[in-house]
């Protein structure tokens, strides 16, 4: 690595924030880059990319809002080439499991010639506590356009630990870690666990995707975000990810964290309580 500075792109996100915290706890020099930092980093404005990369020895790349959006593949390719030109020694990319666009982004990164590690994941545990789903859980009813498809929900903390290992330790270059939690669960089963642990009556309701999109439109959710959510709830949640992997164990030498542990610790914070 050319310097001790580790760049975290989108450092305020679910994984970026956790990666930064762990690196700082290890005494590493961290540079956060987002639209609110100086210099600013915006995926839609390449003019600020060089300043963000300047002097960094490694970088954690998380594309916001998702690698499925138009232009993401090209952005990852261009950023990776620029990183190589700027002498950034290692790139760690958070990729999407079951997304064709994410695979194309991985290929674009590899084509740059950069040393890399890829962490391929799908839905996080933390989507239930740090994302749009928390409002429905607090209200006592989560409505989503997905039925009994099982998802191998994974802990964002596990992802962060893998990223930190890849950024600071040898042995991860050229590796792709496809990560999952230790069991398959439906969204309904996940909500049932949260309901039991919090002692609240929280219900899960599956609706057709058109009805869900109409509900979001009525709530004045931006159209591009509605498109992304419907894409993720239909294309990605079609059963293609109904299998477990050993990615966490291969990267860290331990099993992945279980959803029940996450629910117990998160429920203790009171974040799922009814705020009315």
pLDDT digits (tens, 9 = 90+) for 76-108: 999 999 999 999 999 999 999 999 999 999 999
Residue 227 lies in a domain: no
Here the CATH number for the domain that contains residue 72 is 3.40.50.720
Residue 77 lies in a domain: yes
Confidence bin at 274 (pLDDT 50/70/90) = confident
Residue 134 lies in a domain: no
pLDDT digits (tens, 9 = 90+) for 44-53: 999 999 999 9
Q: What is the pLDDT of residue 117?
A: 98
Percent of the chain with pLDDT over 90: 93
**Residue ranges making up the domain that contains 13:** 5-122+155-180+242-256
| Average pLDDT over every residue of 211-233 | 94
Residue 230 lies in a domain: no
As a whole number of angstroms, the distance between CA 120 and CA 57 comes to: 22
Surface-to-core class of residue 137, CB atoms within 10 Å of its CB (0-12 exposed, 13-18 middle, 19+ buried): buried
Residue 212 lies in a domain: no
Q: Choose the weakest-confidence range: 35-44, 100-109, 187-196.
A: 35-44
Q: What is the pLDDT of residue 3?
A: 66
Is the pLDDT at 255 greater than 60? The verdict is yes
Give the closest residue to 180 by CA, choosing from 227, 243, 274: 243
- Considering only residues 11 and 126, tell me which one the structure prediction assigns the higher pLDDT: 126
Is the pLDDT at 2 greater than 50? The verdict is no
Confidence bin at 276 (pLDDT 50/70/90) = low
Residue 47 lies in a domain: yes
Looking at the DSSP bridge assignments, the partners of residue 7 are 31, 59
Q: What is the pLDDT of residue 38?
A: 87
Surface-to-core class of residue 14, CB atoms within 10 Å of its CB (0-12 exposed, 13-18 middle, 19+ buried): buried
Residue 44 lies in a domain: yes
Give just the sign of the alpha carbon dihedral 79, 81, 86, 91: positive
Count of domains forming the chain: 1
Residue 30 lies in a domain: yes
pLDDT digits (tens, 9 = 90+) for 160-176: 999 999 999 999 999 99
pTM assigned to the model: 0.95
């Amino acid at each position: 690595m050319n310097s001790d500075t580790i760049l975290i792109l989108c450092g305020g996100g679910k994984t970026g924030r956790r990666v930064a915290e762990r690196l700082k706890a290890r005494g590493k020099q961290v540079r956060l880059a987002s639209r609110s930092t100086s210099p600013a980093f915006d995926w839609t404005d390449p003019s600020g990319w060089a300043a963000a990369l300047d002097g960094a020895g490694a970088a954690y790349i998380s594309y916001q809002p998702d690698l499925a959006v138009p232009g993401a593949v090209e952005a990852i390719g261009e950023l990776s080439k620029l990183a190589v030109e700027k002498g950034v020694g290692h790139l760690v990319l958070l990729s999407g499991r079951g997304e064709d666009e994410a695979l194309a982004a991985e290929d674009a990164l590899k084509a740059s010639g950069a040393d890399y590690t890829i962490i391929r994941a799908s839905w996080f545990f933390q989507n239930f506590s740090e994302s749009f789903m928390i409002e429905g859980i607090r209200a006592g009813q989560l409505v989503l356009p997905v039925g009994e498809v099982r998802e191998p929900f994974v802990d964002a903390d596990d992802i962060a630990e893998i990223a930190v290992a890849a950024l600071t330790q040898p042995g991860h270059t050229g590796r792709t870690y496809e990560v999952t939690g230790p069991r398959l669960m439906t969204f309904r089963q996940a909500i049932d666990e949260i309901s039991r642990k919090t002692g609240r009556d929280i219900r899960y309701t599956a609706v057709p995707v058109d009805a869900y999109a109409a509900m979001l439109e009525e709530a004045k959710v931006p159209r591009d975000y509605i498109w992304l959510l419907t894409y993720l709830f239909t294309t990605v949640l079609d059963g293609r990810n109904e299998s477990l992997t050993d990615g966490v164990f291969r990267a860290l030498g331990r099993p992945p964290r279980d959803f029940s542990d996450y629910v117990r610790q998160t429920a203790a914070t009171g974040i799922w309580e009814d705020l009315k």
